[in-house]
Amino acid sequence: MDKAKENGMLERFIAWREKHISQNQFVLILSLIVGVLSALAAFALKHLIHFIQHLLTGDFDAQTFNWLYLVYPVIGIFVTGLFIRRVVRDDISHGVTKVLYAISCRKGKIRRHNTWSSLIASGITIGFGGSVGAESPIVMTGSAIGSNLGRLFKMEKKVMMLLIGCGAAGAVSGIFKAPIAGLVFTLEVLMLDLTMSSLLPLLISSVTAATLSYILMGTEAMFEFHMEDAFDLARVPYVILLGVVCGLVSLYFTHVTTAIEKQFKKLSNPYYKLLIGGGILSVLIFLFPPLYGEGYETINQLINGTSENIILDNSLFYGHAKYILVYMFFIILFKAFASTVTNCAGGCGGIFAPSLFLGCISGYLFASICNMTSWGVPVSDKNFALFGMAALMSGVFHAPLTGVFLIAELTGGYALFLPLMIVSVCSYLTVKIFDSNNIYAIRLAQRGELITHHKDQAVLTILKVADVIERDFMKISPDMDLGALTSVVAKTRRNIFPVVDAGNRLVGILYLDDIRHIMFRQELYHRYNVAVLMRKVPERLCITEPMEAVMRKFEDTGAWNLPVEDISGEYIGFISKSAIFTAYRKTLLEFTSD
């Protein structure tokens, strides 16, 4: 079947759908499809990672170190980098940040290759030992599925954004088997507003993905947890203190990540990045094998009450249990380095798993230190490992509800809801004192490209300078005399004239009101020229500027019209306040309509 015939069939289906199925009903159908496809993608990624890891490390001797830890991560990052540069030929790192960017700046459009490229790249990276998680790539995959289904059936922008949210919710629900966490993550992290029209599609995608994951991967929780020590109120102060500590660890993780990324951006050669980043990662994994891959095996061991000494397996420190707490401290210290250099060196992965891993180690270490000091009542290291996971998730993502529900669903620890809520809120409040944006949003916020729950701010973020430029102004040159200028004025209804030089660069602005008193005096036609009559440009706008900055310039200058230039400084057109207000009202109506 040729492409023309396929397009014809699609057009006929769209016409039939518009006639027989309402948009709201069709969105529900699409959300169901998105949930199914997201769960299948999550299942495929999980099995790809486990297959590679079992193939490479299945026969390692736990009682001795293994030199292959120095080799596998570099090979994985190298293969991933080749795949991205030669096959994908696009930047697929920072999956959730890319999704936020698509919502803020691309009208919900995500490239088609993201439906599979992140899945393959992260599978290779993590399978070979990259110290990152599979969740951000799968969120990118699910969101891309939703976006491209919306584009296929020519849905409007608002529906496209909702389908992206459905894909993200389905991806989190599918990979974690946690439908509530999938829904809450979409609302807290992707910052989609909860309305009656958006709630049902998100729920359908979440429940569908989780149900299919139960069928494919079993109904048991992702982490096996059996609560042996019931929580009592005497331990609340410890929980609060853990929340503060984990908030500070979250800040450390976020700032180390951004600092390392900034340094790697200075390197343009991908092989230099591989050499430096891969070398650092290999050494860290060789010294601290728990940093290999997602780290979920370590989490399972700690929250199940298995001897913590098991995390010394395959390391140089095997058999030296007396140094276990120091060993854990160094794991907390270096996890941020291992995760960040994995991506910076050319790998692909997210920070969900690193956050859970870091939180589990932090909570366990905190409980162990408290019990060693013999101060106050003893605390359960298993429970506090669980609390630490929720706290780090809340602090790193600025998403306390996601932290609470995700950990409860991952482990079945529903009896610990109260301490999970306390520790998550304390961690979140600690982080908010220092950082207003989470690790995903901070890159976009710095460029003014982040949508938030604040309606005015969100609408200004969605609006783009290119959408409101008026280009029908007649350009004039500085050496044009009054006579020639009068003939130009007669051909337009505009009262503003951009004055440009031979290189199309704006040198001034001429207003009709400034020449109205002399424009019909023919004796002056050759006495005055535009260079004498024009005014200085009050302010210049760049086409790439965020709308918030544009509005600030209008406020500062008091102007009603301002000129726009491209990134090279050439004149493009003008923007008027009235055009911005009109676009603002239209976008606000679309953004807030239920």
Contacts of 133 (CB under 8 A, 6+ apart): 126, 294, 349, 350, 351, 352, 353, 354, 355, 356
pLDDT digit string, tens, across residues 537-548: 999 999 988 887
Phi, psi of 470 (to 5 degrees): -105, 125
Homologous superfamily of 3-217: Clc chloride channel (1.10.3080.10)
| Six-digit token string for 509 | 């602005």
The model's confidence at residue 413, banded by pLDDT at 50, 70 and 90, is confident
For residues 486, 490, 495, 498, the Cα torsion angle rounded to the nearest 10 degrees is -60
For residues 289, 290, 295, 297, the Cα torsion angle rounded to the nearest 10 degrees is 100
144 in Cβ contact with 167 (< 8 Å):
yes
For residues 250, 254, 260, 266, the Cα torsion angle rounded to the nearest 10 degrees is 180
pLDDT digit string, tens, across residues 194-237: 566 778 999 999 999 999 999 999 888 788 787 777 788 888 99
Contacts of 69 (CB under 8 A, 6+ apart): 129, 282, 285, 286, 289, 292, 314
Q: Choose which CATH entry (3.30.1330.30, 3.30.413.10, 1.20.1370.20, 1.10.3080.10) describes domain 233-452.
A: 1.10.3080.10
Q: Beta-carbon neighbour count of residue 396 at 10 Å?
A: 29
Q: What pLDDT does 1 receive?
A: 52
Q: Which residue has the tokens 């993905």?
A: 209
Q: What pLDDT does 464 receive?
A: 78
Write down the domain spans for the chain.
3-217, 233-452, 458-592
pLDDT digit string, tens, across residues 300-314: 888 886 666 678 777
Give bridge partners of residue 486 from the DSSP assignment: none
pLDDT digit string, tens, across residues 347-391: 999 888 999 999 999 999 999 999 888 667 788 888 999 999 999
The average pLDDT across 13-25 equals 87
Three-state DSSP at 509 gives: strand
The reply to whether 3-217 and 233-452 are identical in fold is yes
Three-state DSSP at 571 gives: strand
Q: What pLDDT does 374 receive?
A: 65
Homologous superfamily of 458-592: CBS-domain (3.10.580.10)
561 in Cβ contact with 574 (< 8 Å):
yes
In terms of pLDDT, which residue wins out, 158 or 72?
A: 72
User: Rounded distance, CA 332 to CA 496, Å?
Assistant: 62
Q: What pLDDT does 62 receive?
A: 63
Among 114, 116, 137, CA closest to 125: 137
Angle between helices 72-82 and 270-287 (to 10 degrees): 150
352 in Cβ contact with 327 (< 8 Å):
no
Q: Which residue has the tokens 């992290």?
A: 189
474 in Cβ contact with 499 (< 8 Å):
no
